[in-house]
Amino acid sequence: MIRACGPKWFGSQPDIGKLKRSSEYMFNYYRQEMQDSLRERMKTEGELFLYTNDTAATLRLLPRINTDNPLNIELFQYSQANADMRKFLDSPRSAPLYPYLITVDSAVIRLHKGITAYSDSSDQQLLLCAYDPEQRIKVSRLTDDTTTMPFRVNWSIPLHDTTQLNTAFAKSFPGINILLAQARLRPSFHIYMVGQARHNISKERFQTAIYELNRLLHKSQVDSNTFHWKTENRQP
């Protein structure tokens, strides 16, 4: 029965190679369209501020594009990314953008509230990340799973107009002084602090935050001269 009716039910065998080439072509096409749209969008997004001891780090606002292929099937290599890019291109002026770090080892890290992902009424947010590509941690507690990933912690500092920065920093992360001290103990340990104009963080407000972070770094005997301030997406 299947032999007799199979071709009628399922049609001819699909050309897998042709489908893959088509998917790859659309991936490159959507990527170029997205880059053009982002270039226009960034004209209205405001400046991005980065303070870090990673001299090669850059900061970008990007849509969330999932490039995972968990089944490792070649045909589906671009499927999810294409769907996400199409979704962005449907509404390029209003689609959400997220801050991403590109680190010294070319890792791409999306910044988010992390362990401090609680509800807060403040529109002003500082985003922070600690990252060490040479310090590996186990992904699973299972003894037979040896998969590891680089150490990384994300957290945020919500601010109000009346917020004392020293109090905000102290409450933002339990044991923050111990965490910051790793920058002295491990040369590969990087700290990133990010502010965004679109989150009501002005240049002056970010300068004040740098002063407070430096105070904590000095308290942990970390040389703040290894840190630098970078402004991305400068506005004319």
104-121 residue pLDDT tens: 999 999 998 876 544 455
pTM to 2 decimal places = 0.84
Own/partner pairs, 197-204, CB within 8 angstroms, 24+ separation: 197/45, 197/46, 197/47, 197/48, 198/45, 198/46, 199/123, 199/124, 199/125, 200/123, 200/124, 201/49, 201/124, 201/125, 201/126, 201/159, 203/47, 203/49, 203/231
pLDDT tens for each residue of 5-14: 445 444 556 6
pLDDT tens for each residue of 198-230: 999 999 999 999 999 999 999 999 999 999 999
Inter-residue contact 233 to 47 (CB < 8 Å)? yes
Q: What is the CB neighbour count within 10 angstroms for residue 11?
A: 8
